Amino acid sequence: MPNRVVDPEQERAKRAIRQRIGRLRRRLDHRAFRLRDEGRRLASWRTYVTRYTTGATAAAFGLGLALAAGLSGRRLLRWTALRLMRQGFREVGHGVWGEVVRMWRDSAPDRSKAPGSEVHDA
């Protein structure tokens, strides 16, 4: 087996590159896990029931009343049920839309750090 000449400077450079690759890989893994957890949280109905309790309760109560009104045929009960459902779904819908807007805004690159994007006061 031939003797290999080892350049200490080259070995240090290789080690530094491997360490940098390892750090980048760990950072990417951490971001991927964080995004996966955030996606699971946002896809769960429990998140919205917990966050928008009033709207979810109104929608559920309205749905129950609508089913009861459909079986009984009472007009006032049906009107109340539909009104409650509409109000509950509207509140939860606004909350979900706010979450989507927040996610979109957070996922965009920070333009304030880009070159040539200085803010000028008018």
Check whether 21 has a pLDDT greater than 70.
Answer: yes
pLDDT digits (tens, 9 = 90+) for 65-93: 777 766 666 677 777 777 777 877 787 77
Segments making up each domain of the chain, as ranges: 44-105
The CA-to-CA distance between both ends of the chain, in Å, stands at 74
Cα distances from 118 to residues 22, 31, 56, 109, in angstroms, run 34, 28, 44, 15
Check whether 121 has a pLDDT greater than 50.
Answer: no
What distance in Å separates the CA atoms of residue 15 and residue 6, rounded to the nearest whole number? 13
Per the CB < 8 A criterion, the answer to whether 81 and 66 are in contact is: yes
Check whether 95 has a pLDDT greater than 80.
Answer: no
What distance in Å separates the CA atoms of residue 27 and residue 53, rounded to the nearest whole number? 36
pTM for the full predicted model: 0.41
Here the tokens at position 48 are: 């919205």
Higher local confidence (pLDDT), 29 or 64: 29
pLDDT digits (tens, 9 = 90+) for 29-63: 998 888 888 888 878 888 878 887 887 887 777 77
What distance in Å separates the CA atoms of residue 42 and residue 49, rounded to the nearest whole number? 11
Here the tokens at position 74 are: 């009472």
